[in-house]
Amino acid sequence: MKKYPNQKGLPSLNKEIREEKTDKPASFFLTVYQIARKIPKGRVTSYGAIAEASGLKITGRMVGWAMAAAGNAQPPVPAHRVVNSKGELSGSSHFATPTLMQELLEQEGVEVSNNKIVDFKNHFWNPASPTPKKKTRKL
């Protein structure tokens, strides 16, 4: 029987996830982490939105599993910016302290009340939508 090194029963990501010399990522973890790293500061997205944007046949639950194991990923993954579809901090139990996820969001200007994002719709970032390009002035 395989034993996992951490308490939550999730595989450790101490080994670096590597990309093969193809266009496809080596794992769904890598794809999920690449998307999560694009979430702007002060914004949040949902597990389901990442699953949909990934283009893989994965569920929001699988994204949550990847986020729970993101603590050892390099470069770091802002897992605190990923919440459930209602804006609730459902992944907060996977952080070092029960309030760390909320504290990190509040440091970025996201208000949290009763373990839920205040004004979730305005803080939501959709990873499937193209990021608008900055307009440059012509001289």
Ramachandran area for residue 63 (φ above 0: left; ψ -120 to 50: alpha; else beta): alpha
- Residue 84 reports pLDDT greater than 50: yes
Residue 21, pLDDT above cutoff 60: no
- The structure tokens 């897992």 sit at 79
**CATH code given to domain 28-121:** 1.10.10.10
Nearest to 66 by CA among 103, 91, 44: 91
Residue 1 pLDDT class (50, 70, 90 cuts):
very low
For residue 130, what pLDDT is reported?
65
For the chain, give the mean pLDDT. 83
Whether the per-residue pLDDT at 45 is higher than 50: the answer is: yes
For the chain, what are the domain ranges? 28-121
133 pLDDT tier (thresholds 50, 70, 90):
low
State residue 47's pLDDT score: 97
Mean pLDDT of 80-86: 97
132: DSSP letter: P
Measured CA to CA, the distance from residue 59 to residue 56 in angstroms comes to 9
Predicted confidence at residue 129, as pLDDT, reads 85
CB atoms within 10 A of CB 12: 11
Higher pLDDT, 65 or 25: 65
pLDDT of residue 138: 58
**25 upstream amide cis, omega within 30 of 0:** no
Looking at per-residue confidence, does 22 or 87 come out higher? Answer: 87
